[in-house]
Structure 1
């Protein structure tokens, strides 16, 4: 392990990025995309970091300090002793049952005794909508469940992108490298060493090391899909967002037409044959003036680490082939599954102040449409998201179905970090 470690270090030095192992000359900062990935996956943790009072309360807490310092000591002592065992290294960063129990109990205690934390949960975490599926819980339970979601998300990232455990959709969401290769093992160990030993750490929050390590695994695997194209409001969706303010939605039967993507299974085609069909089916509904806006949904999903974004290519097709004005097209470039096609579209409607008490239409090919209208789709949403992102209503024809948005779509899902 040491041999490959130092070989890689030599390569890094030659490339101009060499730092002394135990004392970096400059503070390490994650790329801006990593900050966006963190915000979209772990709103609770970002909110804690940004709230000076709450951050200091948690940093000065005896129980959390014990967890933080023990992890620091274990990382420092085991970076070398773990040798080339990724499982050994990653286990140090993961939250075990004992830690999770201690964290839960301390949060419960603090919520009883600390008004600042109570206000933080009520006025920030609850009000954010990022944990909307827990809205019926008490403030204490909401905090505990939000933390549990974050801990599970970090642990999941480390399992999938650290040791290569298969995600739910392994064909498109897996680790980018051979986790058994010397190169990858050496890379992970060096990232761990660098993160752990960077100077002037911004805080000593009990979750910081695990959070930084999780984000580094996504970054080194090039899995930044959820941060691409942001901010949409200032880029791809700007013209449509400006136009929305002028739309009289009462003049239409539906608020929008959501066209689902169907990615190609090769690296040459920008759109698949079925994807092009979906677009034409959606255009037919649009030309019938059923809604003032088209939403196209699909990310860099198919094939594995796809170079093209379905929604971007669908928008181009709508404009170039069907001459739909850009101001009438919204894109969701993040969705990787049918569940999040609907969820992300609803999130956009809420964010862009479109009427969510008005029905929309979801359009796709016959086979896919049958699936969306089947009770099995609702069951899949409950299993993967924990809620229904929309209520599926009446079928208009073989390829179009009405749906009503649900506010629960705002809820984050870091178990799927590429589209949370």
Structure 2
């Protein structure tokens, strides 16, 4: 797979959404691998790979080594015996309940006895913010919960992009091919054979076979949305980030105007009719000098495997039609749902050290705005994310609502691997 090394921003942490952002512990360095998709979905696994003491500890553990070798042997056997049955092959890549429990028990023991693992959680996982929704857990609980998130995420990828099961949003996020076709079956078997037999093995970590296979399935299906446009801070958002440092936010009522995308349902239009209306509505708020920045949010969501990115096209429209300076526009080119529109905008605010105690405005058409301001939206956030990415406040008019960002938005969600 092609390697994309990108600069990971030093995320900031706050004790609550009403306090100003401040830096993580001095000296903290975020872990990166050669895969942006891996880092954004499975930070725990990247961090383990990058920590020599922890990776060696886990590789040499008898229980974890046994699980790894047993899986290797099973996959090797299935490559010979399964012929063209994907379910027969993939079942041995999936994490079984029995093995999950064994891994949990072993990690629990190691957390009691091994300082290297204790320090890893305390000095890496916790300050990373990648599992911020578990911040009130003990270090041991945080590690086990983070591992569970990764397990569920890998299993979901393998079921959706290997077996063709329906994802959370089937119309947008499904497998790219007919999983019953001989072409796809052959492709998966050949990729599996390549990954399983490539030498030398980079490591013998208990999750490595399943992780490599999961990433390969996303790569095969051209599902690289999460890594496109990275690093944002060196590309699309570079000018705005430089400008943020010069902004006196106290001179404005709001920190930003977040404009939600509305993707076209065909492959010709760059923006939909409603998407263009959303921009007009957002520009009105911006030109009233309510905020110094516009954030546009929307990825390659509509139609299926869309050619155009909503946020990229929204930025172009703002610059070319409405003459908004590029330095006043931030983009989130990844969001695929309303829940992640607000979550990803919050992540940008945190990453770029905007004042988190200052309200922003979310702008969209009246129908969509009614949904954002409805209790059902909060319920959906809790169901799909496990937290509220923002605190919805007062409605200003039929298309604009105040909100405050919530730090839990840093939490990774590999259940939605195209925008975790």
Bin for the TM-score computed over the shorter chain: over 0.9
Instruction: Report the Cα distance in structure 1 between the residues aligned to 2:274 and 2:180, rounded to whole angstroms.
Output: 37
Instruction: Report the Cα distance in structure 1 between the residues aligned to 2:201 and 2:338, rounded to whole angstroms.
Output: 40
- Once the two structures are superposed, the pairs formed by residues 92-241 of structure 1 within 5 Å of their partners are 92-241=92-241
Deviations 1:166-193 (A, max 9, x none): 0110001000000000000000000000
Kindly state the Cα deviation for residue 80 of structure 1 after the two structures are TM-superposed. Answer: 1.8
Asked if residue 304 in structure 1 is aligned to residue 304 in structure 2, the reply is yes
Q: Which has the larger radius of gyration?
A: 1
Aligned residues: 392
Aligned to 1:88: 88
Kindly state the Cα deviation for residue 59 of structure 1 after the two structures are TM-superposed. Answer: 0.4
Q: Helix, strand or coil: the match of 2:92?
A: helix
Deviations 1:105-126 (A, max 9, x none): 0000000000110010011000
- Once the two structures are superposed, the pairs formed by residues 272-287 of structure 1 within 5 Å of their partners are 272-287=272-287
Kindly state the Cα deviation for residue 31 of structure 1 after the two structures are TM-superposed. Answer: 3.8
Asked if residue 353 in structure 1 is aligned to residue 353 in structure 2, the reply is yes
Q: Helix, strand or coil: the match of 1:396?
A: strand
Asked if residue 32 in structure 1 is aligned to residue 4 in structure 2, the reply is yes
Instruction: Report the Cα distance in structure 1 between the residues aligned to 2:294 and 2:222, rounded to whole angstroms.
Output: 30
RMSD between aligned alpha carbons? 0.8
Q: Helix, strand or coil: the match of 1:93?
A: coil
Q: Helix, strand or coil: the match of 1:212?
A: helix
Aligned to 1:4: none
Q: Helix, strand or coil: the match of 2:394?
A: strand
Deviations 1:25-84 (A, max 9, x none): xxxx55438700000000000000000110000000001000000011011111121111
Instruction: Report the Cα distance in structure 2 between the residues aligned to 1:383 and 1:232, rounded to whole angstroms.
Output: 29
Deviations 1:303-323 (A, max 9, x none): 000000000000000000000
Deviations 1:197-248 (A, max 9, x none): 0011111000000000000000000000000000000000000000000000
Instruction: Report the Cα distance in structure 1 between the residues aligned to 2:2 and 2:286, rounded to whole angstroms.
Output: 43
Instruction: Report the Cα distance in structure 2 between the residues aligned to 1:395 and 1:124, rounded to whole angstroms.
Output: 39
Q: Helix, strand or coil: the match of 1:143?
A: helix
Asked if residue 371 in structure 1 is aligned to residue 371 in structure 2, the reply is yes
Q: Structure 1: which 5+ runs fail to align? A: 1-28
Instruction: Report the Cα distance in structure 1 between the residues aligned to 2:270 and 2:137, rounded to whole angstroms.
Output: 45
Q: Helix, strand or coil: the match of 2:80?
A: helix
Q: Helix, strand or coil: the match of 1:98?
A: helix
Instruction: Report the Cα distance in structure 1 between the residues aligned to 2:220 and 2:107, rounded to whole angstroms.
Output: 33
Q: Helix, strand or coil: the match of 1:92?
A: coil
Aligned to 1:45: 45
TM-score (norm 2): 0.93
Aligned to 2:288: 288
Instruction: Report the Cα distance in structure 2 between the residues aligned to 1:30 and 1:236, rounded to whole angstroms.
Output: 21
Q: Which has the higher helix share?
A: 1
Instruction: Report the Cα distance in structure 2 between the residues aligned to 1:124 and 1:164, rounded to whole angstroms.
Output: 35
